[in-house]
Amino acid sequence: MDVQQIIESFQPAIIQIATQTATGTGFYVKEFDLIVTNEHVIGNNAEVTIAGKLFAKTLSRVWYTDRKHDLAFLEAPKNAILPELKLGNYESMKDGDQVLAIGHPYGLNYSATQGVISKIDRIRDGLKFIQIDAAINPGNSGGPLVNDNAEVIGVNSFIIRGGDNLGFALPVNYLREALQLYLPNKGQPSTRCHSCNYLVTPANIDSKKYCPSCGTEVKLPIMPEKETEPIGVSKTVEEILKELGKDVKLAREGQNNWSVKEGSAKIKINYNPENYFITGDAYLCQLPTDATRIRPLYQYLLKENYRMNGLVLSCVKQNIVLSSIVYDLDMTKESGVEIFQDLFKKADEYDDYLKKEFGCVDRLEE
């Protein structure tokens, strides 16, 4: 199987994961009906947002955490038929073997980086890791490391900062051991003690916070009675989205980033604490394929910009984008509701109008 075939076969089982503070990658293991990712991707969350090629964005329970091996298992999406990925044999791998690191680096969907195994058994903190020269960038964490037989041979885990393409993956034998350990308790929140490897569950945890085997303090991925509230501008943005009827949990895409749909338009909201601006970018349709209609389209966009107050239409590559920008100190919940309500409403209207009047085409999405 060539590289392109491997990537295409894996894409439907590669999962995007987002929390209030981070984003990452996971992959579905059909044999256990679980999504695998890194523990550092899900953080202290008992529930995260997931999305994939074959299912819409939804919430997923965190069932298992393992700080020592940096592993976490999530509930698989319901009513989604996902392909089977084969777990390979770590012992058969050797230095110099070709590998692929698959994930969502920097938010780019379904990216794959090809490389070779630099050292098959690099020891770090008492564990073996596969050292590779395929870059594991932010967002790639938790994705599969794949051999040329289209088998998962590791979980992409971390990089050494400052190192040129120096990435590390947890070998698949650790993953298989963890999956088999958790299987009898599937559907229960569980955590593996980072001191003695004992599986801690609600039934055996000591005083609700200690490992019953060695007494180490542990934390089960249990849903909190009250969700941790965001603070500052993030809190204001989420209050605005709630007021506009959006599901805030599903909208989150990492720290200070949100994404919602309004009709056929996709709106991305970002807060930059370095320049204090909140931006809302509604990605509408794409430029028409008929070149003779582009000039009239540009003229229309310029006229609309002259007419509108607080919103700007622009072209970003092939995409037509409707944008709003506001200084954080100038935005209250009330004014924010008005600003974003106007953005959402006009985004849906413009998207339909531009396709009808100028032959603009639907935006391609991965």
Residue 131 lies in a domain: yes
- Same domain? 217 vs 274: no
pLDDT at 164: 63
Domain with 80, as residue range(s), is 1-226
Distance CA 45, CA 74 (A): 11
The helix or strand, by DSSP H or E, that contains position 297, with its residue range, turns out to be helix 294-307
From 192, 226, 260, the end of a domain falls on: 226
Using pLDDT thresholds of 50, 70 and 90, give the confidence band for residue 105: low
Same domain, 249 and 214: no
Measured in whole angstroms, the distance separating CA 20 from the mean position of its chain's CA atoms is 11
Domain match, 220 and 339 both: no
What does each C-alpha distance from 320 to 234, 295, 296, 299, 315 come to in angstroms? 27, 14, 14, 13, 5
CA dihedral 243, 16, 256, 278 (to 10 degrees): -70
What 8-state DSSP symbol labels residue 341? Answer: H
What is the average pLDDT across 294-305? 95
Look at residue 266 in the predicted model and tell me its pLDDT.
86
**CATH number, domain containing residue 282:** 3.30.1460.10
Average pLDDT, the chain: 91
* 132 within 8 A of 149, measured Cβ to Cβ: no
For residue 192, the SS3 value is strand
Pair (52, 171) in one structural domain: yes
pLDDT digits (tens, 9 = 90+) for 45-75: 999 999 999 998 999 999 999 999 999 999 9
- DSSP bridge partners of 210: 206, 217
Q: How far is 251 from 366, CA to CA, in rounded Å? A: 17
CB contact at 8 A, 48 and 17: yes
Instruction: Indicate whether 63 and 212 sit together in one domain.
Output: yes
Flag whether pLDDT at 15 surpasses 80.
yes
Provide the number of structural domains found in the chain: 2
Distance, in Å, from the CA atom of 364 to the CA atom of 355, rounded to the nearest integer, reads 14
User: Are residues 263 and 163 part of one domain?
Assistant: no
Work out the average pLDDT over 203-211. 95
Question: Does 363 fall in a domain?
Answer: no
Residue at which a domain ends, from 226, 251, 279: 226
- Does 270 reside within a domain? yes
Mean pLDDT of 14-27: 90
What pLDDT, on the 0 to 100 scale, is given for residue 162?
62
Whether the Cβ atoms of residue 74 and residue 61 lie closer than 8 Å to each other:
yes
Cβ within 8 Å of residue 155, ≥6 positions away: 36, 37, 38, 70, 71, 142, 143, 144, 145, 169, 170, 172, 175
Tokens of 30: 């059909």
On whether both 263 and 131 belong to a single domain, the answer is no
Q: What's the CA gap between 258 and 23, in Å, rounded? A: 12
Residue 242 and residue 253: Cα distance in Å, rounded?
A: 16
Query: pLDDT-derived band of residue 77, with 50, 70 and 90 as boundaries?
Result: very high
Q: How confident is the model at residue 282 (pLDDT cuts 50, 70, 90)?
A: very high
Mean pLDDT for the stretch of residues 262-267: 84
Give a yes or no: residue 148 inside a domain: yes
The predicted-structure confidence for 133-176, as pLDDT tens digits, reads as follows 876 777 788 999 999 999 999 999 987 766 566 789 999 999 99
Give whole-number Cα distances, 134 to 34, 162, 191, 232, in Å.
26, 15, 30, 38
The full DSSP string for 85-142 is -EE--GGG--TT-EEEEEE-GGG-TTEEEEEEEEEEEEEETTEEEEEESS---TT-TT
